[in-house]
A and B are shown apart, each in its own frame.
Chain A
Amino acid sequence: AQRVTQPEKLLSVFKGAPVELKCNYSYSGSPELFWYVQYSRQRLQLLLRHISRESIKGFTADLNKGETSFHLKKPFAQEEDSAMYYCALTSTYNTDKLIFGTGTRLQVFP
């Protein structure tokens, strides 16, 4: 079965500190992985996807198939990064089904 695990419910850092939000997945096939973000009073929205290999708002995420991880990283956190972050997975066989993790709340203090 597909499963996404985000071990941290809350991550608090100071502005300028590095950030790493952890995501591990379990899936026997080839997964497609995403990070979604929900800022205060805004809709849940896509932040980035691993197939694009992009950096959005300074965030990057690398798919590590050996460790089945897709951690989200940013070298210098900003206060506006404070939000709820969800890791999500879909499969190449069943692309219609999108599974999310439990989410990590990132708090960036000034």
Chain B
Amino acid sequence: SQTIHQWPATLVQPVGSPLSLECTVEGTSNPNLYWYRQAAGRGLQLLFYSVGIGQISSEVPQNLSASRPQDRQFILSSKKLLLSDSGFYLCAWSAPGQQLTEAFFGQGTRLTVV
């Protein structure tokens, strides 16, 4: 069966520090991968999605970047965190194909920038 792992679960980082959140998927090949941010009053905002290794689509211009160094690994990064980067970050995957049927979400990472 397929599983998605996301870590760390919580993170407190000072302003200006770097960030690296990792997400891995097991039990499937060539998944579509997503990074979302869940912020109070703003719902679930799509940040990046990827349909293959090295293929990243950015949805919102911001202080963050994403990379997909391996087929089932998706990394969210920042060189210098801002206070506004605080939020709950969710990774998700879906099966590749012509029609999206369901996205599967990780447990999320609560990031607090202080």
Contact = CB atoms under 8 A, between A and B. Distances in A.
Contact of B46 (A36, A51, A92, A98): A98
A95 B105 contact: no
Contacts of B106: 43
A98 B100 contact: yes
B109 interface: no
B43 A96 contact: no
B99 interface: yes
Given A43-B107, A44-B90, A102-B42, A96 B101 contact: no
B42 A99 contact: no
A55 interface: no
A99 B51 contact: no
Listed from nearest, the 7 A-B pairs whose CB atoms lie closest are A102-B43, A100-B44, A44-B105, A95-B100, A103-B43, A46-B102, A90-B100
Interface of B: 32, 34, 36, 41-46, 49, 51, 57, 59, 90, 92, 94, 97-108
17 contacts: A9-B41, A32-B100, A34-B102, A43-B106, A43-B107, A44-B90, A45-B105, A46-B102, A46-B103, A49-B101, A95-B99, A95-B100, A98-B34, A98-B49, A100-B43, A102-B42, A102-B44
